[in-house]
Chain A
Amino acid sequence: MLEKRTFYGYISAIIILFAIWHLVAVILDLPIIPQPFMVLDNLTAIFIDEIAIHGLYSIWRIIAGVFLAIIVGVPIGVLMGYFDKFDRFLAPIIYLTYPIPKIALLPILMLLCGLGEMSKIIMIFLIIVFQVVVSVRDGIRSIPKEIYYPLYSLGANFMDIFKEVLFNASMPNFLTSIRIALATSISVLFFTETFGSQYGMGYFIMDAWLRVNYLEMYSGIIVLSFIGLILFVFTDFLEKKICRWQYK
C-alpha cells in the first residue's frame, strides 16, 4: 500500500515528533505533559481492553457520515455540473447554506435526532456533503466540451456519459475534497462524542481528562490521530489507484 520511501518518511517523522514531545515533557516537567514512553506503555497496556471499542465507534461514525455524504453529494454535484438548469436552481441554495457553521446546528440536531448515533453521523454528513457537491460540480465543469463530442456522435445516453466521463473526471477533485473534509470531520466528531455517548474516542479522551488520568488521555489522542492518519493514507491510496492516469 505504501511505497518503501514514503514508509521510511513516515517512520522518521514519527521519531522526530516523539523526540520533540519528549524534550518538551522533560523540560516542562508537568503532569499534564507526560513523557511519550510512559504514554506508549499505557497505550499498549489498555488498547485492546479499553480503547479499541471506542475507536471502532468513532470509525463507524466517520465512515457512515462520509458514505451518506457521497451517496447524496455525488449525484447532486454531477447534476449541477452537467446540467446548467440544475446549477441555476441549486447553486444559490448551496452557496447560502455552505457558510453556515454546521457545528452550531448540533443542539438542534440533538433535539431532533436524539443524543445517539444519528445526530453524530448527520453532523459529519452535513459538514462533508457541501464540499463533495461543490468539488464534484467544479470537476465536471472543467471538462472541455470536446471530450463529449465523440460520445454524443455515438448516441451515448446520460448513463454512458456518466460512466465513461463524469465519474472519472470528477474523481480527483472529489477525493481531494474528501481528504480535506476528513480533517474537519474528525474534530467535529470529537466534539459531538463528548455529548450523550458512552462510546467514541471523544468520550474516552474527555472522560480520562475528567478522571485526571493524563496517560489514558494521551493514549486516546494518539489513537484518534492514528485513525485520522489511516483514513488519510487510504484516501491517498484510492487517489493513486483510481486517478493513476493523472500522474503519468
Chain B
Amino acid sequence: MIEIKDLSVTYHSNKEFYKVFTDINLTIPTGSTCALIGPSGSGKSTILKALAGIITDFEGSIAINDVPLSPTMQTIGFIPQNYGLLPWKNVYENICLGVKIKNKKVKIDKNAVKSIMHNLGIAGLEHRYPNELSGGQQQRVSLARSFLLKPDLLLMDEPFSALDAITREEIQDAFLILWKRYSPLTVLVTHYVEEAVYLGQKIVILSTNPRRISKVIDNPIFGVKNIRKQKEFFELCSTIRNFIKEDWTTC
C-alpha cells in the first residue's frame, strides 16, 4: 500500500518559488494499479517524480507499507516519458541495468531475462542499441527492465503516448499480461481516457487552477477480458470524458 499525505511540491528556479500543488492525498492498495489523468501542466509528472524519489524536498509524506519512501530501501521502477534507456547500452544490458544497480551482489538470472523478453515480444533483439529500435520496441525494453526488478512500486510517465494507436494497444495488452503475473503496485500517468480506463484500477482525475485531485474513481471493469470492445468500457469512458469536459474548463 502506498499512502500519500498532504503532498506539496515547490520548485525553485532562479530564486523564484513556485508551488505546483498543495495537499495531495491518495492511498493505493498493494497489487493494484492507479492511473493519473489530467491536462498538461496539472502536475502529473511532478507527483510521479516525488513518488520515484527524484524530487526529495517535498512537504507532506509518502509511505510504502508504512515505511517512508526511499529509493534505497524500496525497489522503485521508474519509466520516464522517453523510456529512459541508455543509448550506449544494448538491449540486454539495458534490461539488466535495474537489477544490477539494485542488487550489486546478485547474479542476473539469464533465464528470467529471456522469458521476460519473450513475453514482451523482443526476443532476439539482445544486441541492438536503443536507437536501432522502434518506439514500441524501446518501450518494451523499458518494461522488461522494470518487471525484471520485481519492484515494490512501478511508475510510468505517459508510457504509451508517443506510440501510434495500434502499437499502443498492443503494448497495453503486453503490459497487462505481465502485470497480472507479477502485480506490482503501479502508478501510471496518461492523458488518454481510454488508457486510464483500460489500465487503471483506480482512476485519479487531476485538474488545474487550482491543481488538485478532483475525482477518484474505482474502476469496476479493470482487467476484464476484451473489455475494450464492450459497452461498459465505452460508457465509463464517456462518463469520465463528460466529467473532464466540465472540470477542466469551468475552473
Contact = CB atoms under 8 A, between A and B. Distances in A.
Contacts of A153: 52-54, 71, 76-78, 155
A6 B86 CA distance: 30
A154 B131 CA distance: 24
A155 B131 contact: no
A146 B53 CA distance: 13
B53 A152 contact: yes
Contacts of B145: 150
Contacts of A168: 86, 88-89
The binding surface of chain A is classed by DSSP as helix
A151 interface: yes
Of the listed residues A146, A153, A154, A165, the one surrounded by the most CB atoms of chain B closer than 10 A to its CB is: A153
B212 interface: no
A245 interface: yes
State which size class the interface on B falls in.
20 to 34
Contacts of B112: none
Given A153-B155, A154-B98, A245 B88 contact: yes
State which size class the interface on A falls in.
20 to 34
B166 interface: no
A238 interface: no
Interface string A32-43: 000000000000
A149 interface: yes
B78 A150 contact: yes
A164 interface: yes
Interface string B75-110: 111111110101111100000011001100000000
B101 A154 contact: yes
Interface in A105-163: 144, 146-147, 149-156, 160
A91 B54 CA distance: 27
A153 B80 CA distance: 11
A160 B86 CA distance: 13
Interface of B: 49, 52-54, 70-73, 75-82, 84, 86-90, 97-98, 101-102, 128-132, 145, 149, 155
Interface of A: 144, 146-147, 149-156, 160, 164-165, 168-169, 171, 243-246, 248
